[in-house]
Structure 1
């Protein structure tokens, strides 16, 4: 398990207060945990949604995909934190750290893909590929995996600050910014990538 004092993210008083304020305002209150076919048709959501909906993203539901046995700690490309620490991370300022920026979008897409059905033509299965941007002709799962490799080879996993979008992956310098932009587009509106991702909660 990675010590959260060495993972490149340290919750600030401001981020904790902001998270508490959003909860106090009622954001995410009363949204039940979702399972089965309803969860399978959930629209992709932004990192902010996942931070602000603890009822939906409880450790026994979709966040459990990150934990080895559905326990209270979640590992993401070399960094392990609790459910609450990940939620704080999603609303904390990135302070220019490219790895923290990528990790927010990567975590959101991991959770978003967890909510798509196994048979998801036009969106995540049957050869559905992106039709716009730097990763046209790739599937969103392929882009997610490339972003994960970028993150795993960045300063993220050793607690350093990633100042550049360029990271060496397998001996090649990879620009993470287009990967991040593609994840961000999917999390906000997969249709902007030419993907057809029907869902029941728009």
Structure 2
């Protein structure tokens, strides 16, 4: 068997060291590349999850804002409707009181108009208004209610505060203009 020299052994050891060193560097590069790839993958997943979570949060926030906005709008509309209803009711009540106060004058005007327009007919009214009929040809009937009813053939006309209010309801509603915090008629 041939005898090996120390230099052959050292040369062999050096060769093995280089092979091991190359293999270690290759494993280190592969490990570094693998680690970098895993870090990039994890960062991508974190970014993707964060974007998704942010998107979901934005969607939920928007939905909550819409629900809140709708709720507030409904409440404002409800309150505004109540306010308008109260104002209309207050106006009708005030008008009704005022009409009752001036009804004798209105009754006199109504009777005068009927007397000018018609030659005959029947008037049903309180006794206090009978003196307003100055023309012959009208039958007079007394009633207790604060109203005047004129009939002539198929014609029937009722004149009372309730009837005036009823006739004016659409007019009142159409003439009430609500702007900001004030209302006007």
The answer to which structure, 1 or 2, has the higher relative contact order (CA under 8 A, 6+ apart) is: 1
TM-score band, normalised by shorter chain: under 0.3
Query: Where is the strand percentage greater, Structure 1 or Structure 2?
Result: 2
Query: Where is the helix percentage greater, Structure 1 or Structure 2?
Result: 2
**When the two structures are superposed, what TM-score results if normalisation uses the length of structure 2?**
0.21
**When the two structures are superposed, what TM-score results if normalisation uses the length of structure 1?**
0.20
